[in-house]
Amino acid sequence: MKPFTRDEHDVIGEAITRAEQKTSGKILAEHFPPKKLGEDELPNHLIVLDAKVYA
- Summarize pLDDT for 18-43 with one digit per residue, the tens: 888 888 888 888 887 777 655 556 66
pLDDT (mean) for 44-49 = 71
Provide the pLDDT confidence category of residue 16 given band limits of 50, 70 and 90: confident
Domain count along the chain: 1
Q: How far apart are CA 22 and CA 25, in angstroms?
A: 5
The answer to whether 46 and 52 are in contact (CB under 8 A) is no
Range of 45's domain?
A: 1-55
Q: How far apart are CA 36 and CA 39, in angstroms?
A: 9
Please report the pLDDT score of residue 49 as a whole number. Answer: 74
Please report the pLDDT score of residue 51 as a whole number. Answer: 62
Please report the pLDDT score of residue 6 as a whole number. Answer: 84
